[in-house]
A and B are shown apart, each in its own frame.
Chain A
Amino acid sequence: MRIFHNPNYNFVKWRWHALALSAIVIGAGIVTIARGGLPLGVDFSGGTMLTLKFDDAVDEETIRKALPSFGDAIVQTTGAPAEHRILVRLPMIRQSEEAHDIETEAKAVEAALHTANVGSFILEAKEIVGPVMGEDLRNKGFWATLASLAGITAYIWFRFRFTFAIGALAATLHDVLLTLAFLAWFGYDLSLNVVAALLTVTGYSFNDTIVIFDRVRENQRTAKRESLEDVVNRSVNQTLSRTIITSGVTCLAVISLYVLGGDVLRGLAFTLLVGIITGTYSTVFIASSIAILLSPKMPSGPAAAATAARAKRA
């Protein structure tokens, strides 16, 4: 079975449309995020997260009403409906750290729920991140992402050439920004798991690009007379079914994770899913376009041969 039979699409011709589309989407994403559309998760902002397991079914509204003095508390059901699990998130620790007790809020919530008599429950998990630690993780996450981008770019520079490295870097940055935009539009928090997935997406996105660049390098060896545009376009077409099938198959696995892996992993799975799809798109349209744009314009084809011949004669 085959999806493509000797594909020969002119991807390079569409590069301006693709770049424009990406720019619009990323711009819109940046506007959303700048307006606070991608809130930081408890891991990064600091705060308290409680997982409560009730004996009987309970709805979010009841819990919300039982916590009137916690206006910024986010209450969600989590896990399978039969598990009766409720997640309560308090974004910030109001108690100053100097009070030497970061559990104050958690204890207050527990007490309020007992007072409101919402049914018997056990506190299954309690996660508290102090503001200092949150900031620490924020910095680390930021630098790890940058360092990872720089590391892979350096590797591609070493293995291929500078313009390819920049092309791959641009494509990967593009994927990261697009993924962030979609995370914001679909109402996700920027949590530790999401950042881990983003870092994985950088690796994956470079992967895809490397496959095409490898093919470009191979084709350049055999076809010295073709222009770079043509070689790149031919390489993208030759690897097209691989590009589509791999991301399709990886998506299958990730969708299974998204649907069945539980709430904790949902943000991670979503990030991977979006990252893989945008990674495929950027591999085909963005990476090679940028590599071509940055490459010095070389006279191509017969004209080049003629020039060389003239130079020899002179």
Chain B
Amino acid sequence: MYKNLRWKFLVTAIVTVLAVWSFVPPKQKVKLGLDLQGGLELIYRVETDAALKIETDTTSEQLADALKTGAVTVQAVKVTSLTSFEVTGVQPANDQQFRTLAEQTTGSFGRDAGDTAGSYVFTMKPNIVVNRRSEAVAQAIQTIERRINELGVSEPLVAPYGSKGDQIIIQLPGLKNMAQAKSIIRSTAQLEIKLVEGEAGDEVALLASHGGKVPDDMEVHPGASGVKGDGGKTFYLVRKIAAVTGRDLRNASATLDENNLPAVKFTLNSDGVAKFTRVTGDNVGRQLAIILDNIVQSAPRIESRISQPEARITGSFTQQEAQDLSLVLRSGALPAPLTPQGQSEVGPTLGQDSIRAGVLASVVGLVLVTMFMLVYYKLAGINAFVSVALNLVILLGFIAYFNAVMTLPGIAGFVLTIGMGVDSNVLIFERIREELDAKKPPRQAIALGFDRVFTTIIDTHVSSLIAAAFLFQFGTGPIRGFATTLAFGLASNVFTAVFVSRTLFEFMLSRRPSGSQQQLSI
């Protein structure tokens, strides 16, 4: 008996020490949720449709380009939906050559004969559609991670969110400048350099020489007005196919232009240099538009062939804007725009007050419960207190060890764990009393009390765990904290209420002379 007890105390002590060791000091080891430590949480939907549209546009343009180069005349190449485009007027004589060119340029599209003779419909393959959508989300996550890393937030989270697969959640704990972070994360930063075909004060004048219509291989962009993100008074007609894009960048940084105004300097990679050299060499005397998110920042004239890797975006930037812009250019463009779905900003002071209120509620709850147990079960109440208090200690240990996040509802979970922990004790104590009423000796009453109630405790805990598991699935951050606390609390409660409490009873019994018929204090 005595040896057995020593072993049980040892297990209890080891568990306690491990638990305390994992959460002390709590300020460093218990991770607080955004609702308690303050910070920013953003939920965005990635407009994956836009990524598909870009792919369809680019492919149709590449095919049109190849047809032009190969001298295959067609009537039109027209994008008909997000994932399909149509080519009309292919001459029977050219059909074989058309097919060859199409196979070279439209790998991710399936080709079908159209409604009319000599027309073809190209539709993106279904598996490619699925891939492109998930790639867009994955790329957006990577890009945002790079941007956030440059912001220097500790322990940020960027992860897929929701069941539809096109949402992302971003958590930035302890962040101060929320407005800047939001604008940096969301800016698409689509950099393109395109050849200028015309420039005018309004769109009508711009298109006058083209019959009032934008030609198939061109598009119109407004020039910057001086207000960031706003279209100005100049409109540019530019080639649809970009000479150089943000993907050809190696680096970007804030700098000053010749007038000492903030500007952004970027360096091209070797691919970009090759493209840039070719386009500047072929088009000396013409203008190149530097387009950022569909607005022409500047359109310098090409003086000569440029084969160096560095170029500059001048515009009317403030120093901060130039820095933010170079940051987002460095981290690469987002594959598709982001639409905000929800956000939550919490200042640090609110969280501190919440923690204070939560801790107070827990302590008062524990004191009330303990007082009741001591009055109702006398000395056995101490047992209940020890097992509930130890339960809380182990619970904290679990939370710290598994890096779970403590949230405000998580604190509520603590208080509830106090109540639920006592439940098992009450169940056992009442059973022991019943057995004592049935004139069983104390030792046997205790053994029967614990044994008979054990299956009940397992059943009740499993059913509560099922509820907690679904709660975890359903919940956002704060609710997950609640579910985690409940689940860990239930698990450690089985140990404290059954094992620890029984050990304490047995210890009390072992201190009595054998054969004593002394009453139990319960």
Name the interface residues of A259-301: CB closer than 8 Å to any CB of B.
259-262, 264-265, 268-269, 272
B357–A260 touching, CB < 8 Å: yes
Whether A56 sits at the interface, judged by CB under 8 Å, is no
CA distance A12 to B409 in the complex (A): 38
Q: For B460, list chain A residues within 8 Å (CB).
A: 206-207, 210-211
A136–B340 touching, CB < 8 Å: no
A155–B419 touching, CB < 8 Å: no
From B350, B354, B378, B434, name the one whose CB has the most chain A CB atoms within 10 angstroms: B350
B341–A250 touching, CB < 8 Å: no
Which of B354, B362, B479 has a CB less than 8 Å from the CB of A264? Answer: B354
Known: A242-B430, A252-B368. A199 touches B466 (CB 8 A): no
Interface extent on A, as a size class?
A: 35 or more
CA distance A214 to B460 in the complex (A): 10
Question: Which single residue of chain A is at the shortest CB-CB distance from B367?
Answer: A256
Whether B81 sits at the interface, judged by CB under 8 Å, is no
CB distance from A62 to the nearest CB of B (A): 21
Whether B464 sits at the interface, judged by CB under 8 Å, is yes
- B17-25, B267-275, B451-459: which lies at the A interface? B451-459
CA distance A74 to B428 in the complex (A): 48
B369–A253 touching, CB < 8 Å: yes
CA distance A265 to B478 in the complex (A): 11
Name the interface residues of A134-192: CB closer than 8 Å to any CB of B.
136-137, 140-141, 143-145, 147-148, 151-152, 155-156, 159, 192
Question: Which single residue of chain B is at the shortest CB-CB distance from A252?
Answer: B368
Whether B386 sits at the interface, judged by CB under 8 Å, is no
Known: A125-B346, A204-B464. A100 touches B340 (CB 8 A): yes
CA distance A152 to B469 in the complex (A): 11
A128–B343 touching, CB < 8 Å: yes
- B135-143, B151-159, B236-244, B410-418: which lies at the A interface? B410-418
CA distance A132 to B45 in the complex (A): 10
Question: Which single residue of chain B is at the shortest CB-CB distance from A265?
Answer: B412
Whether B345 sits at the interface, judged by CB under 8 Å, is yes
Known: A192-B478, A200-B467, A210-B456. A252 touches B344 (CB 8 A): no
Whether B463 sits at the interface, judged by CB under 8 Å, is yes
Known: A125-B344, A125-B347, A245-B376. A214 touches B412 (CB 8 A): no
A136–B426 touching, CB < 8 Å: no
Whether A133 sits at the interface, judged by CB under 8 Å, is yes
Q: For A147, list chain B residues within 8 Å (CB).
A: 470, 473
A196–B471 touching, CB < 8 Å: yes
* Interchain pairs with CB closer than 8 A, number: 231
Name the interface residues of B412-462: CB closer than 8 Å to any CB of A.
412, 415-416, 418-420, 422-423, 426-427, 430, 433-434, 437, 452, 455-456, 459-460, 462
B456–A211 touching, CB < 8 Å: yes
Question: Which single residue of chain A is at the shortest CB-CB distance from B465?
Answer: A203
CB distance from A77 to the nearest CB of B (A): 14
Q: For B368, list chain A residues within 8 Å (CB).
A: 252-253, 256
Report whether over half of chain B's contact residues are helix, strand or loop; otherwise say mixed.
helix
Name the interface residues of B343-371: CB closer than 8 Å to any CB of A.
343-347, 349-350, 353-354, 357-358, 360-362, 364-366, 368-369
B466–A128 touching, CB < 8 Å: no
CA distance A133 to B162 in the complex (A): 9
A196–B473 touching, CB < 8 Å: no
A207–B464 touching, CB < 8 Å: yes
Whether A34 sits at the interface, judged by CB under 8 Å, is no
CB distance from B229 to the nearest CB of A (A): 12
A252–B409 touching, CB < 8 Å: no
Whether A90 sits at the interface, judged by CB under 8 Å, is no
Q: For B372, list chain A residues within 8 Å (CB).
A: 248-249, 252
Whether B264 sits at the interface, judged by CB under 8 Å, is no
CA distance A2 to B426 in the complex (A): 12
CA distance A239 to B357 in the complex (A): 35
Whether A230 sits at the interface, judged by CB under 8 Å, is no
CB distance from B425 to the nearest CB of A (A): 9
Whether A45 sits at the interface, judged by CB under 8 Å, is no
Whether A234 sits at the interface, judged by CB under 8 Å, is no
Digitize A215-246: 1 where CB-to-B-CB distance is under 8 Å, 0 elsewhere: 10010000000000000000000110110011
Question: Which single residue of chain A is at the shortest CB-CB distance from B357?
Answer: A262
Whether A83 sits at the interface, judged by CB under 8 Å, is yes
A203–B466 touching, CB < 8 Å: yes
Known: A128-B342, A200-B486. A260 touches B459 (CB 8 A): no
Whether A28 sits at the interface, judged by CB under 8 Å, is no
Question: Which single residue of chain B is at the shortest CB-CB distance from A148?
Answer: B470
Known: A124-B349, A196-B475, A268-B412. A254 touches B467 (CB 8 A): no
CA distance A102 to B369 in the complex (A): 45
Known: A125-B347, A192-B476, A269-B412. A242 touches B427 (CB 8 A): yes
Question: Which single residue of chain A is at the shortest CB-CB distance from B182?
Answer: A103
Which of A100, A241, A260 has a CB less than 8 Å from the CB of B360? Answer: A260
Which of A2, A79, A123, A155 has a CB less than 8 Å from the CB of B353? Answer: A79
Whether B474 sits at the interface, judged by CB under 8 Å, is yes
CA distance A261 to B408 in the complex (A): 9
Digitize B269-291: 1 where CB-to-A-CB distance is under 8 Å, 0 elsewhere: 00000000000000000000000
CB distance from A120 to the nearest CB of B (A): 15
Question: Which single residue of chain B is at the shortest CB-CB distance from A144?
Answer: B474
A51–B470 touching, CB < 8 Å: no
Q: For B467, list chain A residues within 8 Å (CB).
A: 148, 151-152, 199-200, 202-203, 206
- Please name 15 pairs of A and B residues whose Cβ atoms are closer than 8 Å in the assembled complex, sorted by A: A126-B344, A127-B345, A128-B340, A136-B163, A144-B473, A145-B470, A159-B459, A202-B467, A204-B464, A249-B419, A253-B415, A257-B361, A261-B361, A268-B412, A272-B416
What are the nearest 8 A-B pairs in CB distance?
A203-B467, A250-B419, A144-B474, A253-B365, A256-B365, A148-B470, A262-B357, A203-B464
Q: A242-B426, A265-B409 are in contact. List 12 more A-B contacts (CB 8 A).
A: A129-B342, A133-B341, A140-B474, A148-B466, A148-B467, A159-B459, A200-B468, A203-B467, A245-B426, A245-B430, A254-B365, A264-B354
Q: Which residues of A contact B (CB under 8 A)?
A: 1-2, 6, 51, 53, 79, 83, 97, 100-103, 122-130, 132-133, 136-137, 140-141, 143-145, 147-148, 151-152, 155-156, 159, 192-193, 195-196, 199-200, 202-204, 206-207, 210-211, 214-215, 218, 238-239, 241-242, 245-246, 248-254, 256-257, 259-262, 264-265, 268-269, 272
